Structure 1
């Protein structure tokens, strides 16, 4: 520190702040460095902090301190010093004034904006990834492009600046230069896929609307729905459902691409949507009438009870407003005899449903539909209960009537030795005796 005190007495506070900012992350386009300490006390003509080879000039640019940058240059620091990722100080510019300072001081002048690091990133790639107020960003972008930055330049991994843009205002500005939104990188990703994966919802929404008519979209769209659904019902409804509702052609393109790519994957996603109660997705699959495997057994993890789409819809975890979807699904090629991990088939699951959904008026209709599909009326669960046991236990006498009309056996005893009537409370037992 003695050398800094001698050469930069007016900047001791800034240097001390950087020195003591332990474990501060410095992002270099996918690589991270930790600014840990300046204890090595580099010579004024040295260009780097020895602990991690981050040039001091870079740090001055990153904190947007033009005076410190000038002092470092005048003390002999190399303006072309690179860090271990091949980044030049130009790559850390965050203001128009710092850009002008480097351009004016560098022998290449404005051509310095073409410098790339080891991964092929330019200043423009870097600036697009920054988060700052709209005016500062607009002014900086405009100036970088005026200096000759190529808005179509790709990184070594084949990524355009659309992969790095962080907000729609920047995207709209760059669209004036006809930037490439549909580039596919060497990993087979599009910018839209990258933003969906990184949960940059604002950008993903914008790119969904702006790219869905392209041939590239149709080739890659089979990946997009899965990414939109990965965080579950609440986030899908909040982030994406309204976009799909407003753009039915986009919705159709997404679903068609998924089904045309893989019937099995489309069937899995349908089953996932049934399990997670994302009813917009369930309804669209039914609307588009694909030849799915409607008996696809899906579970989230080893602790999740396995179930087919029909069983999931009959016994949802929260949202019971889905009778219309159950009715529609029963028109498909579904197996009503499949059982879940609790030993319930569709008929038993329906009877169990009305323990929790007592406000429903559709139980009778769904029960009749299951009967028509060949459901076994006296099948039992692991505890020996029939649908009639559950109907009595739930106090749903209208379902009791339907089951008895369809010749349900009221003499079957469960594992506890109880016939169905004995599952009812005392009041309903009296009512049933009176009614019968």
Structure 2
């Protein structure tokens, strides 16, 4: 940063650091410089700290803290569609990122906006189709698979939950053809994640199979590249 010495459009530019060093001198021509810069620095620091802290209701929705989400909305209904300063996520987006169906259902009943986008231009539907299993889910499935098919039943249960989440969002009017920063739709991500359970739901909601992302790929192109033959067949029937 530089400051200008002199007035009336004349004078020379010097680093503000030099002016800060003169703050203890009585004859400093800029007694305001140090204090002004200090206030500016503190204000910028506070602003950055505030932006880095997620909104409490977004954090609660992400953590699946249903009672906290209810409490915060009861206090202030404007929190329903509030967007986090850090990533632009809404409480609904946070819930969908984690597959927290109960919270997502509650927010939708409160008329949460399903088409708000975060800073990556993604809606809650983009995240819902990408969310199938957490790392812990995979671990449990692997461990429990040999035990009375418990692992298989867990996998079916999680898949059904994801399917129900996508159904809820589509019924609430989610834009099935919304594109994010990469030009990808929910169908692109469903194909990429091999999420066969939700692809028929997206197609029934009139997902456009011809949309190309920034890589020039349609959902069908992705299915072919990844050699997902079942998904490829589903998309070919539509197109």
TM-score range, shorter chain: 0.5 to 0.7
Which residue of the partner structure matches residue 324 of structure 1? 102
C-alpha distance in structure 2 between counterparts of 1:381 and 1:295, whole Å: 19
Which residue of the partner structure matches residue 394 of structure 1? 193
C-alpha distance in structure 2 between counterparts of 1:341 and 1:355, whole Å: 24
Give the total of aligned pairs. Answer: 159
Match of 1:381 among 155, 180, 183: 180
SS at match of 1:326: helix
CA deviation vs aligned residue, 1:46-79 (integer Å, no higher than 9, x gap): xxxxxxxxxxxxxxxxxxxxxxxxxxxxxxxxxx
SS at match of 1:402: helix
Which residue of the partner structure matches residue 295 of structure 1? 81
Q: For structure 1, list consecutive stretches of 5 or more residues without a partner in the other structure.
A: 1-231, 233-267
Asked if the contact 2:83/2:89 (under 8 Å) is kept, the reply is: yes
Asked if the contact 1:297/1:309 (under 8 Å) is kept, the reply is: yes
C-alpha distance in structure 2 between counterparts of 1:330 and 1:363, whole Å: 16
Asked if the contact 1:295/1:335 (under 8 Å) is kept, the reply is: yes
C-alpha distance in structure 2 between counterparts of 1:310 and 1:417, whole Å: 30
Instruction: Quote how far apart the aligned CAs of 1:420 are.
Output: 0.4
Which structure's CA Rg is the greater one? 1
Which residue of the partner structure matches residue 41 of structure 2? none
Higher relative contact order, structure no. (Cα contacts within 8 Å, ≥ 6 residues apart): 2
Which residue of the partner structure matches residue 204 of structure 1? none
Match of 2:58 among 258, 268, 271: 271
Instruction: Quote how far apart the aligned CAs of 1:433 are.
Output: 4.4
Which residue of the partner structure matches residue 335 of structure 1? 113
Which residue of the partner structure matches residue 312 of structure 1? 94
Instruction: Quote how far apart the aligned CAs of 1:395 are.
Output: 0.3
C-alpha distance in structure 2 between counterparts of 1:296 and 1:385, whole Å: 24
CA deviation vs aligned residue, 1:257-307 (integer Å, no higher than 9, x gap): xxxxxxxxxxx53234224x1615435438x856512011224xxxx3221
C-alpha distance in structure 1 between counterparts of 2:232 and 2:174, whole Å: 27
Cα 1:402–1:353 shift into 2, 3 Å: same
Match of 1:420 among 215, 219, 223: 219
Cα 1:426–1:312 shift into 2, 3 Å: closer
Instruction: Quote how far apart the aligned CAs of 1:342 are.
Output: 1.3
Instruction: Quote how far apart the aligned CAs of 1:426 are.
Output: 4.1
SS at match of 2:56: helix
Match of 1:364 among 142, 163, 181: 163
Q: For structure 2, list consecutive stretches of 5 or more residues without a partner in the other structure.
A: 1-52, 139-154
Asked if the contact 2:130/2:190 (under 8 Å) is kept, the reply is: yes
Asked if the contact 1:270/1:309 (under 8 Å) is kept, the reply is: yes
Asked if 1:351 corresponds to 2:129, the answer is yes
SS at match of 2:189: helix
C-alpha distance in structure 2 between counterparts of 1:403 and 1:335, whole Å: 19
